[in-house]
Amino acid sequence: MSRPDRGPVSLSDETRRLLIAAALDARARAYAPYSHYAVGAALLARDNRIFGGCNIENASFGGTICAERTALVKAISEGEYHFRALAVVTENGGAPCGICRQMLYEFAPDLLVIIADETGRIHHEMPLRALLPLGFGPDELPDNAR
């Protein structure tokens, strides 16, 4: 698998709106009976397909998966490895957790991350590298470990 193209990502306002709408739609399916903090994510692939995901909690807590990783796992399981942008929607514009940042960094260190609230208002928009400074990815491993 080759690493995605690097460089800044720009989105049209329409694409941004579609991503946030897809994340809102995914959020509506969240299973969050413990935290009551529903999260929706929409991951935009290089070919413009959108993979949605919601958080799915579990009584054993360690079995819980975040919306961002759900979207990523769906995309990877369908053969997509190249991503342009991610929209995350929570009730208050909460940012992705550390493990989600790390999982996304593996595939798209230059991913544009849009963080919005349940009304669709954007709180933050920045590259993943800004959310995970000095991120550790495949490029940091020696050639014999890849």
Strands (E), 55-121: 83-90, 112-117
Catalytic residue (one of 14, 68, 78, 80): 68
Strands 50-54 and 112-117: unpaired
- Is 68 considered catalytic here? yes
Q: In whole angstroms, what is the distance from residue 129 CA to residue 77 CA? A: 24
Are 146 and 43 within 8 A, CB to CB?
Answer: no
Q: In whole angstroms, what is the distance from residue 33 CA to residue 67 CA? A: 15
Q: In whole angstroms, what is the distance from residue 70 CA to residue 28 CA? A: 14
Q: Which residues are catalytic?
A: 68
